[in-house]
Chains A and B, each alone.
Chain A
């Protein structure tokens, strides 16, 4: 029964048995709902980014004067490639799990995990590169209070995480949030892989691998979207 039909029926008529089973499994539905939330998060970050860039709410030009497009270190491209490859690995893992091929599943999972971890370390290294090049989170020399005693008006340097532009600040924020979500996927990967390596049955991990793979593909799409945003602005 279509959703519209389901929501316009007259439930007081003809009492009797009714209803069909849901099409999707429960964990899959849960993931679908969760993906809507994550989509919303990155959509809003995109809107904030675009509004900030266009100098929204500032006197014309005030932000324009400070919007330096951020540099794109080559490592960022490499990282994107690594993430793409890891998605391929996940896809192979999903197919292997569906087929029941334990050996293929094992190798696919190891490759996927390794590439995923490589991506995350690559991202941390990009941060390091940016800091080395002088691109920091905030635009205020000596501001950062992370790790400080009294956060009041005497700004003391301790943590060299400073002097940036809005684009850089957004870059740090967005890559951090993307990375945290990916870490969540890595946690599930760890759980599934340890089960597979210990010789557990494929059926037990099939759904985990399937859904985690989907989640991974989704985060790849998010990354490509965000990366595209950084490139175009």
Chain B
């Protein structure tokens, strides 16, 4: 039997010597991951500031006169697009995907390191093009992150001159970057797993990122097509999405196009996109929970299958975003059914997370606290989705604050809590240092309680009928004065949460320079990334010999074992005298 392993199929890694080679034009997946993460978090902070401005306007309308109606719509649009695409997708796949996959499967690096490096620089370019929207005449696009035509490119919508162009071009560039990255993540998982690492021995984090990458590769082309066609409608006068219309009293030359065609293309991308954000979060939180509860993830096979089924089904539910779009109403029957069916594997994942905690040995460390925060808010957000998926119930709720509350809960709260938990969890591995526990706990409690205080009331305002994307509600008979108080309260909570993030940034930066040296495996985790010979892992990750894997990633509290965890690369022997077979 040859001693050569799977991952030796790769060309020898290129070892850079200079600072520039090691940290700027780096082909090391770990450096690329940090580059992605820092860029994504930076642009995410910009979007966070925009949301603070939005909340100032909504909570105290008329007080901040520098926020005009067109600015407000531009904040709304840029906030949404940045958060969904440039922060969450880039951070979870480009950041966590890049860092974790090779380490968790036992590879030295991604299979196409040069393309991987290129993907980061193209991503950075897309961010720069997007930001240029703030500086072009007319400002950035103000059509909502959904960019619906005809309004997005017509007079009356802010940014219809240049902002929409920079937005669409930026998205096209991002999609090229994502394709290069996605190719790496998928091919590395398929080809570069080390000896003994079968698919079912991979941790849930890898499964979540892997399936999300496949989905992204298949879904982003829809956005690409929609973006190019809208760009042509804007700059070349084609009518892909533009019917005969009058704009501001003037006849336009467009004819024959279909705005609903855009919506189909956009949501065919857009729905899988939210699962592209959610699935890595699901995978990662499974690992956070099992490590800190010292218990294998309950029902691992079902968890893997649920990720695959959710990923596949997510391509068949897109028109639940279009129930009131004016599309053929009979489609509503199909999409309501498929949408509610997708709730079933999602619910199973929730049960299995809870059953992992049940009869566990739970250490309430900061990563575990964030995982718990995820569970609570995701249960809420997932359940509120059932209202919107059920077609007739969606009728009065569409385009109200109920939708805003729901999607923030499932996209803006739960995955963000997982991201925080994951950063705290892997920080000692990435930096070799430990963060301050008290600051971490304070950060958690303010953030968790704060975001719930922000988004819970929004659902009720939505049921009342308060519409979204409104600059100001003004005197509206069915909206009682208490609703305006609610908006004030939400704004105050939002500002508190916003400021509290300073604790996180301070903790992370300060600990990087002054934190105590961390144990190489402070949590006693079994998965492979914690078993590297060096912490932080050096270029090439594993030293002269790649690891061999003998067991799954969840041998925690195995009866009879000396310790309450057995790393994946420990051969069978005394460690598992009583291991069930």
Contact = CB atoms under 8 A, between A and B. Distances in A.
B238 A164 contact: yes
Contact of B235 (A17, A36, A62, A144): A144
Given A62-B243, A173-B229, A15 B6 contact: no
Contacts of A48: 225, 229, 240, 261, 265
B551 A15 contact: yes
Contacts of B111: 26, 30
A29 B190 contact: yes
Interface in A136-162: 137-141, 143-146, 150-153, 155, 161-162
Interface stretch (B65-73, B252-260, B399-407): B252-260
A69 to B, nearest CB: 14
Contacts of B218: 36-37, 40
Interface in A42-66: 44-45, 48, 51-52, 56-58, 62-63, 65-66
Interface string A62-95: 1101110000000000000000000000000000
B550 A44 contact: no
A19 B192 contact: no
B581 A13 contact: yes
Contact of B253 (A7, A139, A145): A139
B239 interface: yes
Contacts of B268: 44
Contact of A52 (B254, B258, B305, B554): B258
A228 interface: no
Given A12-B296, A44-B265, A62-B243, A151 B238 contact: no
Contacts of A17: 195-196, 548, 550
A140 B253 contact: yes
A62 to B, nearest CB: 6
A13 B300 CA distance: 12
Interface stretch (B92-100, B197-205, B367-375): B197-205
Interface stretch (B179-187, B500-508, B512-520): B179-187
Contacts of B186: 33
A218 B550 CA distance: 40
Contacts of B300: 11-12
B452 interface: no
Interface residues of A, number: 61
Contact of B183 (A30, A44, A169): A30
A206 to B, nearest CB: 15
Interface string B219-242: 001101100110010111111100
A151 B235 contact: yes
Given A26-B111, A33-B217, A16 B199 contact: no
Contacts of A16: 550, 571-572
B136 to A, nearest CB: 11
A11 B552 contact: yes
B162 interface: yes
Contacts of B580: 12-13
A9 interface: yes
A193 to B, nearest CB: 20
A33 B183 contact: yes
A146 B221 contact: no
Give the size category of B's interface with A.
Answer: 35 or more
A144 B236 contact: yes
Contacts of A13: 580-581
Nearest to B233: A138
Contacts of B572: 14-16
B221 A166 contact: no
B305 A7 contact: yes
B554 A51 contact: no
A96 B303 CA distance: 48
Contacts of A62: 243-244, 255-256
Contacts of A8: 301
Contacts of B427: none
Contacts of B534: none
Of A10, A18, A143, A144, the most chain B CB neighbours within 10 A belong to A18
Nearest to B575: A15
A118 to B, nearest CB: 26
A173 B226 CA distance: 12
A57 B258 CA distance: 5
Given A30-B112, A153-B155, A19 B240 contact: no
Contacts of B296: 12
Nearest to A63: B256
B191 A26 contact: yes
B239 A139 contact: yes
B254 A151 contact: no
Interface string B96-133: 00000000000000011000000000000000000000
Given A139-B237, A161-B236, A153 B201 contact: no
Nearest to B190: A29
B555 interface: yes
A6 interface: yes
A127 to B, nearest CB: 13
Given A12-B554, A138-B239, A41 B221 contact: yes
Given A11-B300, A139-B255, A51 B236 contact: no
Given A12-B555, A29-B191, A41-B224, A137 B217 contact: no
A146 B301 CA distance: 54
B363 interface: no
B166 interface: no
A52 B250 CA distance: 25
B564 interface: no
Given A44-B221, A139-B255, A166-B240, A11 B232 contact: no
Contacts of B250: 153
A38 B229 CA distance: 17
Given A12-B300, A138-B237, A138-B239, A173 B232 contact: yes
Contact of B232 (A7, A29, A40, A169): A169
B218 to A, nearest CB: 5
A225 interface: no
Given A12-B554, A17-B196, A62-B243, A143 B236 contact: yes
B574 interface: no
Given A26-B187, A52-B257, A58-B257, 6 more contacts: A17-B196, A26-B111, A40-B217, A141-B253, A153-B250, A169-B239
5 contacts: A18-B196, A40-B221, A57-B260, A138-B238, A144-B237
Which 7 interchain pairs have the tightest Cβ spacing? A143-B237, A57-B258, A138-B237, A140-B253, A11-B552, A57-B260, A15-B551
